[in-house]
Amino acid sequence: MTYDNLLVDYSPGLAIVTINRPKALNALNQQTLIELESAFCSLAEAPDVQVVIITGSGEKAFVAGADIAAMQPLNALEARQFAKLGHQVMHKIEGCPKPVIAAVNGFALGGGCELALGCDIRIASENARFGQPEVNLGVIPGFGGTQRLARLVGKGRAMELIMTGTMIDADEAYRIGLANRVVAAEQLLETAKKLAETIISKGPYAVKLAKQAVHNGLELDLDRANQYEAELFGLCFATKDQKEGMQAFLDKRPAQFEGE
Ligand code: CAA
């Protein structure tokens, strides 16, 4: 499938989704959001894709936010619909049965920071800048930032970022746990691909269940979350990959996972 505002490239086990509106620093308008949702519907089902990387085109921005020009004339009901579309897309990415890595190659502001927050892992280039600058525009984050940022970096830090609209650099994002690691700009995609390769070499079914356990379990109390984990742990033992993974360890040889 081809898109107007996205590029999707494939290599073995991997899909790289590039948000491609460089003239607007890859800002998310309605069409881009719809395309993202459609791309993730396909990628979730694609048997040859085990990991997805999201990045932005150009050297300046991952995504500089929701599209301000498109939002400016909206009325309250239209703005609520737009926020719901954004939520739907972030939810789709977060719930994708495959790991999603954000390769943050520049500004990740507003909806761009929220897109990165919807991913499982965030790798930042040294020139990455993160922030929720919505208060500068007289609005609040609308694609889940008030919730996911607070859950990831803690309430106090999220409050400060959201209430001041301050932009932080990659090192600060790493320090507060918003970025998993920081690398030189020219190493960004390579680092994300290497990380993807490491994940691809593991049992795909186990990786899928691990994501599900962490993601869904975090919203439960500890007892229920551990019960949920035990159910998924048990489910692993219904797979050929579990038998192969453990037998390979006992045989002192690398495992050959089939994703079954
Ligand atoms: N929406 C629409 N267009 C945008 C955009 C955005 N979020 N961010 C940048 N652009 C456009 C600019 O309007 C400009 O277009 P023109 O060349 O046609 O004038 C082009 O991208 C380049 O931007 P700048 O000239 O501003 O580049 P800069 O290097 O001087 O500044 C920047 C870069 C600091 C990222 C600045 O562009 C900026 O502050 N952008 C807005 C960031 C922002 O406020 N994001 C939050 C949006 S609200 C939101 O996301 C709500 C939500 O949660 C759903």
Please report whether residue 89 resides in a domain: yes
Same domain, yes or no: 85 and 117: yes
Residues 162 and 233 in one domain: no
Q: What is the pLDDT of residues 165-218, one digit of tens each?
A: 999 999 999 999 999 999 999 999 999 999 999 999 999 999 999 999 999 999
Interval 151-176: pLDDT, tens:
999 999 999 999 999 999 999 999 99
114 is catalytic: yes
Residue 1 pLDDT level (bands cut at 50, 70, 90):
confident
The structure tokens listed for 85 are: 């579309």
Are residues 145 and 216 both part of a single domain?
Answer: no
107 and 184: one domain? yes
Q: Which of 231, 212, 8 is nearest to 96 (CA)?
A: 212
* Strand intervals (E) in 21-166: 49-56, 61-63, 100-104, 107-109, 121-125, 129-131
The answer as to whether 10 is a domain residue is yes
pTM of the model: 0.97
Span from the CA of 39 to the centroid of ligand 1 (angstroms): 24
CA of 96 to the centre of ligand 1 (A): 28
158 C-alpha vs ligand 1 centroid, how far in Å?
21
Cβ of 107 less than 6 Å from ligand 1 = yes
Residue 207's pLDDT is 97
- What's the domain range around 211? 204-251
Mean pLDDT value across the chain: 97
Q: Are residues 244 and 176 in the same domain?
A: no
Pocket flag, ligand 1, residue 67 (CB < 6 Å): yes
Residue 260, in any domain of the structure: no
